[in-house]
A and B are shown apart, each in its own frame.
Chain A
Amino acid sequence: MIPAAFDYARPTTVEEALQAIAEGGDDVKILAGGQSLIPVMRLRLAAPEVVVDLTRVEGLRGVREEGDQLVVGAMTTHADVLTDPLLARYAPLVVEATETVADRQVRRRGTFGGALAHADPAGDLPAVALALDAEFVIAGPAGRRTVPAAEFFVDYLTTAIEEGELLVEIRLPKLAADDGWGVRYEKFNRVAQAWSIVAVAAAVRREGGRITEARIGLTNMGPTPLRASATEAALVGVDVSLETVTAAAAQAAEGTSPSNDLNAQADYRQHLAQVLTRRALAAAAGL
């Protein structure tokens, strides 16, 4: 449980951070909250030459409102997310999912941006970001670029962040209850602090007894977070009822490719996805 030796940089601005990454050479790791990186370094499953620690980059922390979006700094901790009034009002799905992340200690150190950049398909926040069509602002030597969630999660633990780049902000749409939005993060795991076996992030907009829009993200149903597109499509315009939700949820596992591991085999995960989607939708739709 002792990491191999590494060089360490602790910048205080994004510019300094980019420089440290550039100077770090081929084998740089960026340290946010360290809740995934530190364990694998301690096990010597990762042995980077340079670690660039972002904890002193104050500019990457905090939540602000910009027009019809919320902007969340990548270094905002899970604990910060849980107490932020803007997120509580406009992105309750993020808050609800964050409440289920690991345990109190992990939430104190772990960060929103770190969890998304790590892109573990069993992590809770990637599916939420995908369901919300979040935008990812990535800084690099050539300036900043914005990547939509649908293009951000590339493969297992792999994102659109290129070598030398840094995730700085995540932009979220405002989905307020006032506008008819209801949300639910339905997580299935064996013990409270464990990873999701499967989880479903659902946001449903209702208007006059009908569903006008549904966004559903699936956790741990493939190498990346996935949208339950068939279910989403089936819900548009239908009456808000348990029957319509159940029928739509039956399509939740379409196009998924979950893994087999000690916690579950693929067929069971696909079954769970349907059950959990139904439950998440029912809760989000106020049924």
Chain B
Amino acid sequence: MTAVEDPAAPDTPVQMAPAKEVGQARRRKEDARLITGETQWTDNIVLPGMLHMAMLRSPVAHARITHLDVSAAKDRPNVVAVYTGADFAEEQGSLPCAWPVTPDMVNPGHPSIAVDQVNHVGEAVAVVVARTRTAAADALEAIDVDYEPLPVVLDMEQAVQAGSPLVHDSISSNTSYHFVFDAGEAGTGADTDQAFADAEVTVSRRFVQQRLIPAFMEPRSVVVQPTRDNYTMWSATQIPHVLRVMAAMVTGIPEHKLRVIAPDVGGGFGGKLQVNPEEILALLVARRLGRPVKWTETRGESLMAAHHGRDQVQFIDVAADREGNVKGLRCRILADMGAYLRLITPGVPVLGAFMFPGIYKFPAYRFECDGVFTNKVPTDAYRGAGRPEATFAIERIMDELAAELGMDPLELRRKNWIGAEEFPFTTVAGLEYDSGDYAQATEQALELIGYDELRAEQQRRRESNDPVQLGIGFSTFTEMCGLAPSRVLGSLAYGAGGWESASIRMLPTGKVEVVTGSTPHGQGHETAWSQLVADQLGVPFEDVEVLHGDTAISSRGMDTYGSRSLVVGGTAVVKAAEKVVQKARAIAAHLLEASEDDLEFTGGKFSVKGTPGTGIGIQEVALAVFAAHDYPEGIEPTIDAEATYDPVNFSFPHGTHICAMEVDTETGFVKIRKYASVDDVGTIVNPLIVEGQMHGGLAQGIAQALYEEAIYDADGNLTTGSFVDYLLPSAADLPHFDTGNTVHPAPGNPIGAKGVGEAGCIASTPAVVNAALDAVRHLGVTDIRMPLTPERVWRAMHQGGDGGDRAAATSNAQGVTSSEAATASVTEGDQQ
């Protein structure tokens, strides 16, 4: 991927209005209905005659279905139908994978419901349709299935070995693709092997990015209403527009006969950037029965069957000279696809491929990635999608290089990062970083956290051999946001564009409807878009309503992911507003009997230059064109406008995160003492929303470092199948966050925004791990596997290594997890 060089991009410069609203910490206008439960979530939707679906899911990871009898389930009360894969084999097609990252990528196809083989625990094998949700759940127990077990493939490093059992018999190995980016070959850098051959110092590490579960708050839910040959689908999705196109292609329902609505959606984090098997099944069942159907997953189903994230084994080599000048970077990645390729499964590691060099001036770089099939639920986008993996690897290995060289980790970073005067900077990976000042962010963060004091305390604790040691960890990161220039996506073989659409409707009373193709699921688009439009049109914030998430209302859209909404979707809104002003100017000039050139537009009012106080407001123009009694010849009587914006480059938020960590050397317990982050996300439209995004992102990034891990046992069962065992932190477990910002507006869009949705999640994970290691490195610890459970930290201190593999550690154990245990032995007479 190279930065877009074509200056003739269809991007006319837009003048931003004076910022009255932009920059205000407006409380989010959507929150009142969300937090009082007054909104309508998908699962609240009740339609006359609506039926309920429940899925029977495979309890085994890899098997042939040798017998499947649903007749008894059909006889259960209130059951209307029971379907198996055989019932839909001819019409279900394959779930889409939109990103064939290499020309020879192998995609085995992905049925929505298994036909004769299951490839991961949780795969649907039968669907019960009943008049009530409880009847559907009850009838699942009457379905009889026999499985003939096949060897289970779980470990990527074993899966790629010759002779490994195969996940899919139909293909010759467990490797889906081999993706390579070589800066030498691309002409963006020197020869990597030569750089390593010449290097004075090399450091190599193997890092494990554990498997994570997006764990959004609102479970997935879908309702489909068929009306003869028209279909309306409500879904708790991030991507109603993409879903509509894909569902039409999969099911053969003509696109114009399918309307998709995402009502208020309770979180996604990438987990709802998907075309789900259950969404397709709901369409197939509704079409078969001609009745509305609903499916809402349980939390257990969500953790087991919704796509997971991360899951990479990273082999990273860095080359440098003795003075600490970096010379080369080499990454070899194994990325766990799971059993199938879902919407952008193979593309997630590729999104990270260009970010491994981080903010450093590597002269040489090579990246290779194998996408590997295993008998686990597929992976796909999860907050950051590719960039956290890259950021973790580079920020961790910079600390390891610093240790090898005996240098201060911050000094090593300073020596190698891109200087503020060097922007725009084309990296060894071919990206053009837009703007920023890494030194400024770092200085500010050091001050925020009270760095010198912490270092002094660390020294005291070391000298007194305090059982609680203190460590300080850095992450000086950048990421790639504003997905994405369509032509770049095309060059990477992605199946769609990266533009966004917006339209503005001026109502007769002067009120404003903004229709956006960016579909929010918690981000606060309604508030931020209202602030943008209030400034651009000079109308009150309260006069703006933002409409979204319904393909019948917002016909074009690319939806919300990749920190793209404000950068791309917000720019489309600004451009649409500019068109509204242009159209209104012609009408106003006519009404004021003046030349358009003589008009100025300030504070929502057109007036003849030099005669302030007179003139006509844009809201009055809206009424004038509604009446349409008096408007110029040759133009249409409307000032509504639409714009589609295709970005010319990515945007590159950056920042410096510093974590101070206490490690209890007696127990291995780690506790964040202080956390400071200074982020440059460009121009800030709403500081309150930005801070909220930072806090949430930090919580998730810290959670990867300390708490979250999806674990499968040796048979391929998800052991962390509930929130008892898949640990999410609460506010009680997280420190106070000291957040700050520097502002270097993104030059690529008129707002100057860079994106903030993923920054905290991307940056924080390595800062936390680096901090823990800094606390115990003097005890001989050089790595601890994530999440940093107390036991792992303790074992790394007392037994060496990285603390070990939790799944392996317990595979032969008698022990059971708390939830299972509670269960297994609820005996008679127990009083609970």
Contact = CB atoms under 8 A, between A and B. Distances in A.
Are these two chains actual partners, yes or no? yes
Interface of A: 1-2, 4-5, 26-37, 39-40, 43-46, 54, 74, 103, 113-114, 117-118, 120, 122, 156-159, 161-167, 188, 190-195, 197, 259-265, 268, 271-272, 275-276
A265 B808 CA distance: 11
Contacts of A194: 724, 727
Interface string B635-652: 000000000000000000
B454 interface: no
Interface in B698-735: 707, 711, 719-720, 724-725, 727-730, 732-733
B829 A165 contact: yes
Nearest to B729: A191
B829 A263 contact: no
A1 B667 contact: no
9 A-B pairs closest in CB distance: A260-B813, A259-B815, A117-B831, A37-B832, A261-B815, A192-B732, A45-B823, A1-B298, A30-B831
B300 interface: yes
A118 B816 CA distance: 17
B814 A260 contact: yes
Range, interface on chain B: 35 or more
Contact of B732 (A39, A193, A268, A276): A193
A43 B725 CA distance: 15
B791 A28 contact: no
Contact of A262 (B728, B817, B824, B826): B817
Contacts of A165: 829
B12 interface: no
B806 interface: yes
B830 A118 contact: yes
A164 B828 CA distance: 9
B730 A32 contact: no
Contact of A35 (B137, B707, B711, B832): B832
Nearest to A156: B825
Contacts of B711: 262
B35 interface: no
Contact of B720 (A37, A113, A259, A262): A262
B831 A166 contact: yes
A33 B727 CA distance: 24
Given A113-B831, A122-B818, 18 more contacts: A2-B138, A28-B828, A36-B822, A46-B823, A54-B831, A103-B730, A114-B831, A114-B832, A120-B818, A156-B821, A161-B831, A162-B829, A188-B669, A190-B707, A262-B810, A265-B809, A275-B667, A276-B667
A274 to B, nearest CB: 9
B830 A29 contact: yes
A6 to B, nearest CB: 12
B795 interface: yes
A260 B809 CA distance: 8
B125 to A, nearest CB: 17
Contacts of A46: 823, 826
A117 B666 contact: no
Contacts of B300: 1, 43
Which of B137, B733, B821 is most buried by chain A, counting CB atoms within 10 A of its CB? B821
A2 B814 contact: no
B825 A158 contact: yes
A74 B831 CA distance: 10
Interface string B102-121: 00000000000000000000
A192 B137 CA distance: 33
Given A36-B822, A122-B818, A157-B822, A28 B829 contact: yes
20 contacts: A28-B828, A28-B829, A30-B832, A34-B832, A37-B832, A45-B822, A45-B824, A74-B831, A118-B822, A118-B832, A161-B829, A162-B829, A163-B828, A193-B732, A195-B724, A259-B813, A261-B817, A262-B817, A263-B791, A265-B809
Nearest to A274: B666
Contacts of A163: 828-829
A2 B137 contact: yes
B730 A37 contact: no
B510 interface: no
B829 A120 contact: no
A113 B831 CA distance: 8
Contacts of A276: 667
B294 to A, nearest CB: 14
Contacts of A275: 666-667
Nearest to A198: B667
Contacts of A33: 832
A33 B832 CA distance: 7
B822 A120 contact: yes
B832 A191 contact: no
B794 interface: yes
A167 B821 contact: no
B727 A260 contact: no
A162 B810 CA distance: 34
